Structure 1
Amino acid sequence: MAIKRALISVSDKTGIVEFASELAKLGVELISTGGTKTLLEKEGVPVIGISDVTGFPEILDGRVKTLHPAVHSGLLAIRDDAEHRKVMEELGLGYIDLVIVNLYPFAQTIAKPDVEYADAVENIDIGGPTMLRSAAKNHAFVSVVVDAADYDTVLTEVRENADTTLETRKRLAAKVFRHTAAYDSLISEYLSGQVGEEFPERYTVTYEKVQDLRYGENPHQKAAFYRKPLAGEGSIATAEQIHGKELSYNNINDANAALQIVKEFTEPAVVAVKHMNPCGVGIGTSVKEAYEKAYAADPTSIFGGIIAANRPIDGETAQLLHEIFLEIVIAPDFTAEALEILQKKKNIRLLKLGNFTEGQRKALHLVTSVEGGMLVQESDVHAISEGDLKTATDREPTEAELKQLLLAWKVVKHVKSNAIVLVTEDMTIGIGAGQMNRVGAAKIAIEQAGEKAKGAVLASDAFFPMGDTLEIAAAAGITAVIQPGGSIKDEESIKVANDKGIAMVMTGVRHFKH
């Protein structure tokens, strides 16, 4: 068969004039609608209007123009079915062999910060998806193009064979259904959000591929990186990589972990991450001071790690970063001097985030795959202030201890459970992560801290089931503790703390992280 007739209706007109012009030169009759028709006529491309095909005017401000039997019979007719051919001939209907359609810009519309609900709804395309689905269903005979990246392939095949191959039509049809599914998912997500349906009976989301990755967690695993269509600034998915080799699967995971921690702070902060856990966190009056503390927290583990800062990286800080091997540095920006220093290392990845919100953030949905399904929950953006704390012991924490306790609490929230974090002088000094029991996590953190544990504070992501962790903490010289509370044996822990002179505050909030 040959492509003799094409229908063109596009919102994104990138490359459409050139594509349509070449089709016309190949003898393809072009049908078009609205703004696309006007553009093609202006550029001298021969085209007929949709009303010439349907015998019916475009009405209701263009809402109804292609929703007509003359269009959809031309798309859906089975060419080698005698009965279909008979009906088409009796009714004087023509076949449509090629459809080039992309949809109203719904995503771009709802991305506007001041978008009105009515404007969003008006940008829900009806005729476009319907034509795409009709053409894609009948891909045995009809070619359908929804992506300008496929224009050249179609033109090449039409030049060579007067038609596309069945293999190409199958591939294009599959892309159409991915496209319309993604489009409908965005609409569903937006409308569900408008009526407060947080966890609807069907959970549909869509993501766009950013890149294929060399491999996943391990070299034998295939992987790719996707992002949400409306992902905002200040995320790994939208960060600009300004230097270094391609990010790996593990790089992306670790970088995201580092970013989520550094977003907890409003003062200058630097976070070092290895294998999804912080190995050093520091705050200070400058990004340089914060980095020095994050480095001093664990000079061994930071090697080959990920660094995230919530302030632009300056030259002084860059010089310090340059002195060790790092996989990634993430920051809102980099000064020209910092870039000159850091770009001397060929492989270090530099990610520029632009603006991002520090401190408490809006909860987003986190999706975790399980075999045969998925879990969806709000992200843990709970934050506390001094006024939220309840002192459980006879001694209240000093102002100095309180500052360190709040820092420790911000960090422990992001450490794999069971988690214990020790803090002193605006920096972490010991982190026990991912242990099967809380005593084990405390022992690891205290061993890492060494003599620095004396006078330090301790944070626990969940309550103490008994007083043994407090005994270990007291022996190491810990002076203050922050924990959720809520155990049936809270009194046992409180008694140990009182006996040892430890000030202990409770948050009433647990921060398990699996």
Structure 2
Amino acid sequence: MSRALLSVSDKSGLVPFAQKLVELGYELVSTGGTYRTLAEAKIPVIPIDEVTNFPEMLDGRVKTLHPRVHAGILARRDLPEHMEKLAEFDIKPIDLVVVNLYPFKEMIQKPAVTQEQAIENIDIGGPSMLRSAAKNFTAVLPIIDPKDYEIVIEKISQGTVDQNFRQQLAAKVFQHTAAYDALIANYLTDSEFPASLTLPYDKFGDLRYGENAQQQAAAYTDALPENYSILQADILHGKQLSYNNIRDADAALRIIAEYPETTVVTVKHMNPAGIGQGQTIEEAWDKAFAADDVSIFGGIVALNREVDAQTAAKMHSIFLEIIIAPSFTPEAYEILAAKKNLRLLTLPFTNQIPQELEVTSVLGGVLVQERDLVAELSENWQVVSKVQPTSEQLASMLFAQKAVKHVKSNAILVAQNGQTLGIGAGQPNRIDSVVYAINKAQAKAGFENAVLASDAFFPMADSVEYAAQHGIQAIVEPGGSIKDQDSIDKANELGVALVFTGNRHFKH
């Protein structure tokens, strides 16, 4: 008779699975709460201490950590000396191990959890049994996921369980226990950048393709997911999100989190196309659309207020990929849902993104850094020019500085009164970004009062000179160049207000 060892925290599907194992001729061994569940269901089951000849002890901390258990799992059936050793000590082989682990993840997500409670939910025996079974998968079936119960029964019923299936179950075990251990390690560590980096993720889903059609892709969420994430949004309408959709929508969420005011952000290729603010969401949309009514085609829109029918009607007239908002009025939803492929997502907005490490892959490794969440406060800035900025200019500078940090470097942004007018992104040198942003902005209403923001310092005075000669009267930049004085002198010569923030915002 084959023997199965069952010890699970998640008891969903356990009883019918165990019943079918018994019908297929398995002898069941179990522990603790799992044993009680099976016994109460009148399923014949042997308690673990009858196998080990040793009682469960230390509040259940020690029950399966015993040679009579692990030898039964680890013995190679193809080695006579292994099987002879089992016979010598009267140990029966274990052919199937069904274990899932203490709910450590769920425990540490509870608001008032103590470290003691968390540590008590670190499973030791479970991973040990699973890893033993997974190592010996050619002879032992390791099962960690209740979703696999049905197919396991089906394959056993067919008489043979193929080696490829066994190997995939083993791989699933090692993936799960690795993520489990990583979660524990991250919970216990007091180092932001530990010697070994372990980052557990859970699969969100396969994607149709990656950045391009020839690239396969999938999305994963943090094991402890963040609420403010495109992967946590409710998809009310439209087709599956693509790889590029997710990245662009993520950029939109990061940008709009900068602004508590009524704001609309439009995004294309992870850069803001236009940002607008207003007294109403419709006015904010009008300003964001007017900021760049060409680039928005096929773009992403994020709004931090409920979408009303008037705003929805204006967005409906344009080809958009995604609209993200806290909510849609019934009338707005009806208008927008008329477009079959337009994705409509809802997500509660926040201006408090938590500080976490972010990972970027490079060939052969990764780079890890904190998020750029420095608070831009105009009272901390330094006016370095003779000309003082007006209060209106300072307000526009603050708006622009919050936005320019989300533009690909070299980044220049021209703005006025809660509206972007021109954006220069990703140019190999800064003056080209200045030229591009100003050329885009000059045709816009309000340019005569515009300010210019830069994500990094000006390496020479040419950017200040070009900006001043083309109508810019106030500039905000980090400062920090060895040639800062040249830019200051040029600003004084041309009557431009120049403000240093002290905060660089490269975005590669």
TM-score class normalised by the smaller sequence: over 0.9
What residue in structure 1 maps to residue 118 of structure 2?
120
1:273 alignment counterpart: 267
- 1:288 Cα shift? 2.1
Match of 1:511 in 2: 505
Residue 416 of structure 1 is aligned with which of 402, 405, 408?
408
Match for residue 389 of structure 2? 397
Q: How many residues align?
A: 506
Tell me by how many angstroms 1:53 deviates: 1.0
Residue 227 of structure 2 corresponds to 233
What pairs up with 1:424-435 in 2 under 5 angstroms?
Answer: 424-435=416-427
Cα RMSD, aligned residues only: 1.2
Deviation sequence 1:68-123 (CA, Å, 0-9, x none):
11110110011121111111111111111001111011111111222211111111
Unmatched tracts of structure 1, length 5 or more = none
Partner of 1:55: 53
Distance 1:231 1:414 in 2: 23
How far does residue 476 in structure 1 lie from its aligned partner after superposition?
1.7
Q: Would you say the 8 A contact 2:393–2:474 is kept in 1?
A: yes
Taking a change above 3 Å as real, the CA distance of residues 418 and 350 of structure 1, as seen in their structure-2 partners, is same
Normalising by structure 1, we get a TM-score of: 0.96
Query: After superposition, what is the alpha-carbon deviation per residue over 1:198-235, rounded to whole angstroms, capped at 9, x for unaligned?
Result: 00111010111111111111111111111111112110
In the alignment, which of 332, 337, 350 is matched to residue 344 of structure 2?
350
User: Given the alignment, which residue of 295, 307, 310 partners 1:313?
Assistant: 307
Contact 2:228 2:353 in 1 (8 A): no
* Residue in 2 that maps onto 1:188: 185
Which of the residues 50, 62, 65 maps onto 1:64?
Answer: 62
Tell me whether 493-502 or 415-424 shows the greater mean CA deviation: 493-502
Bigger CA drift: 94-103 or 279-288? 279-288
Partner of residue 474, structure 1: 468
Equivalent residue for 2:440?
448
CA deviations on 1:383-427 (whole Å, 9 max, x unpaired) are 211211110111211111111000000000000000000001210
- What letter is aligned with 1:357? T
Match of 1:106 among 100, 104, 107: 104
The within-5 A match list for 1:236-385 is 236-353=230-347, 355-358=348-351, 360-385=352-377
Counterpart residue identity of residue 69, structure 2: V
Aligned residue identity for 1:303: F
Cα distance, 1:311 vs. partner? 2.1
- Residue of structure 2 in register with 1:130 after alignment: 128
Question: How far apart in 2 are the matches of 1:46 and 1:495?
Answer: 89
Letter in 2 for 1:180: T
Find the partner of 2:94 among 73, 93, 96: 96
Partner Cα distance (2:226, 2:47) in 1: 40
Structure 2, unaligned stretches of length 5 or more?
none
User: Residues 206 and 218 of structure 2 are in contact (CA less than 8 Å); yes or no, is this contact kept in structure 1?
Assistant: yes
State the match for 2:32 in structure 1.
Answer: 34
CA distance in 1, matches of 2:125, 2:287: 59
State the alpha-carbon separation in 2 of the partners of residues 21 and 396 from structure 1: 81
The answer to whether the 8 Å contact 1:233/1:356 transfers is no
Question: 1:206, 1:89 → 2: CA distance?
Answer: 41
- SS at 1:270's partner residue? strand
Encode CA deviations 1:139-190: one digit per residue, 9 max, x unaligned. 11000111112111110111110x4222211110011000100101111111
Structure-2 residue corresponding to 1:216? 210
The equivalent residue for 2:169 is 172
Contact in 2 for aligned 1:243/1:349 (Cα 8 Å): yes
1:297-338 alpha-carbon deviations (Å, 9 max, x no partner): 001111110011222323332222212110001122223222
Identify the residue that residue 388 of structure 1 maps to in structure 2: 380
Preserved contact between residue 454 and residue 476 of structure 1 (Cα < 8 Å)? no
Give 1:488 deviation, angstroms.
1.3
Aligned counterparts of 1:37 and 1:311: Cα–Cα separation in 2:
53
1:479-511 Cα deviation digits (max 9, x unpaired): 111100111111111122122221111111100
Distance 1:45 1:317, change over 3 A: farther
Matched, 1:465 2:459: yes
- What is the deviation of 1:239? 1.5
Whole-angstrom CA distance in 2 between matches of 1:31 and 1:320:
66
Secondary structure, aligned partner of 1:271: strand
Q: Is the 8 A contact 1:144 1:176 kept in 2?
A: yes
- Which of 464, 487, 490 pairs up with 1:493? 487
Contact 2:6 2:30 in 1 (8 A): yes
